[in-house]
């Protein structure tokens, strides 16, 4: 398939619909930042583990076979991007996926990859 049109023409109704329905640039920039945070494989592994229930930093380190400090650094990025949230129980902080939007985002991305890649 060729990636460009073989003739030049503008379908004005389609262009007007696309212009009228565009998402605000600020929202798109924020979405790009969010997707950039998610794009790291380690952060995806953390989020994947949290999809199954809350875990503390030590639990996540054990699950992923990483140091507590490395997990803590990644959690800080995920937390400031509102992808995960923490709940303090005494001296322990348990982390979970922030909300159902993040869960749906993860589910859709994983489903897309499973279907596309045949996994």
12 within some domain? no
The set of residues, in sequence order, having a beta carbon less than 8 Å from that of 103 and lying 6+ positions away, is 51, 97
Q: Say if 94 falls within a structural domain.
A: yes
Report the pLDDT value the prediction gives residue 117, as an integer from 0 to 100. 61
Going by the DSSP 8-state scheme, the letter that residue 65 receives in this structure is T
Structural domain contains residue 88? yes
- 38-54 mean pLDDT: 94
Average pLDDT, the chain: 92
Boundaries of domain holding 95: 24-117
For residue 92, tell me if it sits in a domain. Answer: yes
Which residue from 56, 57, 37, 25 is spatially nearest to 106, judged by alpha carbons?
37
Domain count, the chain: 1
Q: Note the residue count of the chain.
A: 119
Condensed to tens digits (0 to 9), the pLDDT of residues 72-119 reads: 999 999 999 999 999 999 999 999 999 999 999 999 988 988 887 655
| 17 found inside a domain | no
Q: What is the CATH number of the domain that holds 62?
A: 1.10.10.10
Residue 11: inside a domain = no
Instruction: Give me the pLDDT at residue 65, please.
Output: 97
Q: Which of 5-9, 27-31, 76-80 has the lowest mean pLDDT?
A: 5-9
């Amino acid at each position: 398939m060729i990636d460009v049109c073989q003739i030049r023409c503008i379908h004005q109704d389609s262009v007007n619909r696309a212009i009228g329905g565009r998402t605000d640039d600020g929202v798109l920039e924020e979405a790009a930042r969010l997707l950039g945070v998610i794009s790291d494989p380690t952060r995806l592994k953390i989020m994947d583990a949290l999809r199954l229930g809350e875990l503390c930093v030590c639990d996540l380190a054990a699950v992923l076979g990483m140091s507590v400090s490395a997990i803590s650094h990644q959690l800080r990025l995920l937390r400031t991007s509102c992808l995960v949230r923490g709940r303090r129980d005494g001296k322990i902080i348990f982390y979970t996926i922030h909300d159902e939007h993040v869960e749906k985002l993860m589910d859709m991305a994983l489903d897309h990859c499973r279907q596309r890649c045949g996994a």
